[in-house]
């Protein structure tokens, strides 16, 4: 996909959803972020009241030639609009039941909201990572198998962030991931 195709996809989803749910008109986008490296999309509310849907430049450029990328990008865009709709309808701001209900309304997949094999950006020399299986959020990268204590620290860190339960933590061997995963 090139940039124009990314924009076309975004706007076709946006126009479809805004026609159904005019409250989404207050959400602006897409904004392309150079700082986002661990998630492909983000719904963002800033303290001054701006509401934005952002997409990661880095992850788009790393993954744009994967055959399934268009499908994944569309699912990500719908995922972010589900957050926007959840905020407008319920003042919800999480991945809980009201967000899942919004996923149904906007045609997003409420189960698999992160396909980690496709969107991992690892630092050079990293061989392993501890990450949250659901969100894809990486606690840390390692050049060896993480120790037990490091794994416990990761679990505590995720619990502090009020993330979902610790059984969603996993150690991944980056070398086993798909070949299109490139070092940052
Ligand atoms: Zn989300």
Tens of pLDDT, residues 82-101: 999 999 999 998 778 999 99
Identify which of 113, 109, 111, 150 has the alpha carbon closest to the alpha carbon of residue 129.
150
Ligand 1 centroid to residue 83 C-alpha, Å? 7
Ligand 1 centroid to residue 36 C-alpha, Å? 14
pLDDT of residue 167: 47
| Beta partners for residue 28, in sequence order | 52
Element (H, E) at 18: helix 3-20
pLDDT of residue 115: 53
Q: Residue 42 and residue 80: Cα distance in Å, rounded?
A: 6
Domains, the chain, in order of start with CATH, read 3-106 (3.30.2010), 128-176 (no CATH)
User: Integer distance in angstroms from the first to the last C-alpha of the chain?
Assistant: 20
Ligand 1 centroid to residue 66 C-alpha, Å? 22
- Residues 115/29/93/137 CA torsion (nearest 10 deg): 30
The whole-model pTM stands at 0.67
- Residue 107 · residue 39 · CB < 8 Å: no
Ligand 1 centroid to residue 16 C-alpha, Å? 20
Ligand 1 centroid to residue 110 C-alpha, Å? 9
Ligand 1 centroid to residue 173 C-alpha, Å? 24
Identify which of 107, 4, 116 has the alpha carbon closest to the alpha carbon of residue 59.
116
Length of the chain measured in residues: 184
pLDDT of 135 over the 80 cut: no
Q: What phi and psi, each to the nearest 5 degrees, are found at residue 83?
A: -65, -45
């Amino acid at each position: 996909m090139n940039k124009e195709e990314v924009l076309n996809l975004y706007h076709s989803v946006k126009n479809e959803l805004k026609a159904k749910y005019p409250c989404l008109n207050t959400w602006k986008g897409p904004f392309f972020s150079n700082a986002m490296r661990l998630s492909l999309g983000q719904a963002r509310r800033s303290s001054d009241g701006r509401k934005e849907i952002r997409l990661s430049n880095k992850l788009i450029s790393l993954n744009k030639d994967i055959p399934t990328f268009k499908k994944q990008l569309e699912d990500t865009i719908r995922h972010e609009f589900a957050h926007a709709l959840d905020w407008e309808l319920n003042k919800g701001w999480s991945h809980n039941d009201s967000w899942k209900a919004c996923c149904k309304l906007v045609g997003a997949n409420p189960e698999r909201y992160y396909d980690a094999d496709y969107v991992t950006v690892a630092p050079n020399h990293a061989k392993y990572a501890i990450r949250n299986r659901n969100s894809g959020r990486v606690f840390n990268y390692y050049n060896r198998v993480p120790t037990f204590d490091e794994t416990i620290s990761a679990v505590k860190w995720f619990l502090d962030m009020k993330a979902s339960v610790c059984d969603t933590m996993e150690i991944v061997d980056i070398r086993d991931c798909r070949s299109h995963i490139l070092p940052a």
